[in-house]
Chains A and B, each alone.
Chain A
């Protein structure tokens, strides 16, 4: 709207000259909650508390087997839509699996992606959109499997921002901080998983 910007900013400036509110509180260094245990253990506990599941494996070559177990356990197909973010390019997939490297479609069952980082404080995964990680992989399939290295776990959300600021290319279009599967409590405050996004979230956590 023509003039709206100037008028709003002008009104704000006038209002600020008038003062008001409790302005007398100095800004200070914000507090980050102390972790009760080491970051990786804390991460795993919080992740589980958020109704996600986790398999810990010693090394990268063990990842595919862990995924295979997960698929079998939940009677899921070996047709996957996958990202191309680290460490996925290093994985050796079975020849007879059907892998699609593309954004997710409405009827994909399982996606596999990496993550940019993970947050110990809350058990969250942090996903950045990019050519190797279309955001739809995080939301459309019923099962979302994330391959994460233990070294990617940071203590607090602020540590993620520091990594992000240090990264080339600035902010990606989308940053998703994901803590457990999709859920809703809109029917009688009863928590139900799998509202619109994934019904299950599984993390394969690679040591080291």
Chain B
């Protein structure tokens, strides 16, 4: 997909001035936080479950090869097929091969992996028509946009924008009246998509979990679109990344108790669906073919370095919902598939640090993401680890490295430091001329652009203490 993470700073500034986006973000922000808080408070065992979940994932990752092989064996025993893909290109080619060269209408359930591999674009190049069926994904597909949130793809859209979008796009289905109420908007989408559900030969869904014990893929949804996308078409294709596997059904149950609560504050979503192989001989509906495409795309590398813990991520979105930077600028500014704290870790690892150099820095390291992450992923530490790499590879700007060097020179020489800072503070104090603060100050424009700079008291503590 279009990669604009290099433009982070500019995009963030645009986002801060986008009135519609700011309205949408303001609406969303408090809701997610309050719902999660209530759901966690209502489960006294939450912390215990969180610890158990982390242990499950750590164990799985430590035996990832064995669990993936078990998963593959079980899928094949139930009549399905597993395809392995090292890269996004391989994954797209595999899926294109399964669908064939004749142009088809392809249903899609929500899948962040399909965004990661830019599947729609690849299949459209071959003449296929992609139908996003999750309402949020459908809305942004109509708008030719990308998800701005991993569980609420259209969170950046206001109701008025959706009304306009439907009013432009739906007359071709004979729906000519603008719909303004939430109920009517949802109904109209239901009506349009129902015919598509009934007339598609291929359905692609993602997977929240892969179960090694049974060879099942699992999706967790509220709308039911992911189900209609897999039981009505002839072929069901699942896109999943390798770290999604868990050993047993019971392990999944533990993780499910965290996922819904962390994501939307739900104890469980409306639908949790396990798909195991194609329809059985005596089944009367369901797909005739079942394929799982397993994507690596850098994950096997993360497994062996300091970013392994990131592979515990269950894509709940809590870190986005609680991130004050995400809350200020929304998801698109991050410039790739995954936004917010988890995205600021994943994006540089997947598309290259030099292509996303801002992301690890665009964070105050306030730690709220880690605090709410159900998998206790040390996101701030990982962002810091990426900063170390940037510094080592000299990706950071020459100016900031220069300033850092000058400061470090002083900081390692206490006497000189105290002489220089003592003088500087006295000068600043003079410049402030009793006003107590600066409205602007050369070399401090980054600060004084949006806030005053409190003036120093005068003599430094050290200078005064020595005289005591």
Q: How far is the CB of A62 from chain B (nearest CB, A)?
A: 28
Of A20, A26, A177, A186, chain B has the most CB atoms within 10 Å of the CB of A186
Given A183-B222, A185-B152, A188-B27: A22 in contact with B309 (beta carbons within 8 A): yes
Contacts of A139 in B (CB 8 A): 224, 227-228, 231
Q: In angstroms, how far is the closest chain B Cβ from the Cβ of A37?
A: 14
Q: How far, in angstroms, from A192 to B222 measured CA to CA in the complex?
A: 10
> Considering the chains assembled together, what is the distance between the CA atoms of A21 and B277 in angstroms?
33
Q: Give me 18 A-to-B residue pairs in the complex whose CB atoms sit less than 8 angstroms apart, sorted by A's number.
A: A1-B86, A8-B294, A16-B65, A34-B44, A129-B283, A135-B285, A158-B250, A173-B275, A178-B270, A182-B270, A185-B222, A187-B182, A189-B31, A192-B183, A195-B225, A196-B197, A196-B223, A197-B224
**Chain B contacts for A13, CB-based, 8 A:** 65
Which single member of B44, B152, B300 contacts A11 (CB below 8 Å)? Answer: B300
Taking CB atoms and an 8 Å cut-off, the chain A residues in 21-73 that contact chain B are 21-23, 25-34, 46, 50
Q: Which of the listed residues B189, B254, B285 has the most CB atoms from chain A within 10 Å of its own CB?
A: B285
Q: What residues of A have a CB within 8 angstroms of the CB of B190 in the complex?
A: 194-196
CB of A151 within 8 Å of the partner chain: no
List chain B residues, Cβ under 8 A from A176.
227, 271-273
CB neighbours (8 Å) of A192 from chain B are 182-183, 186
Q: Is the CB of B59 within 8 A of A136?
A: no
Which A residues between 77 and 116 are near B, CB-CB below 8 angstroms? 102-103, 106
Q: Known contacts A173-B278, A185-B152; is A1 also within 8 Å of B139 by CB?
A: no
A152 close to chain B: CB less than 8 A: no
CA–CA, A130 and B284, complex, Å: 7
Bound Cα distance A117, B69 (Å): 31
The verdict on B54 contacting chain A, using a C-beta distance below 8 Å, is: yes
CA distance A153 to B217 in the complex (A): 25
Contact stretch, chosen from B154-162, B334-342, B361-369, B440-448: B154-162
Interface residues of B in 381-423 (CB under 8 A from A): none
Let me know if B285 and A7 touch, CB within 8 A. no
Tell me if B148 is interfacial: C-beta within 8 Å of chain A.
no
Q: Mark each residue of chain B from 54 to 80: 1 if its CB lies under 8 Å from any CB of chain A, else 0.
A: 111011011011001100000000100
Within 8 A of B (CB), among A161-194: 161, 164, 170-190, 192, 194
A2 to chain B, nearest CB (A): 10
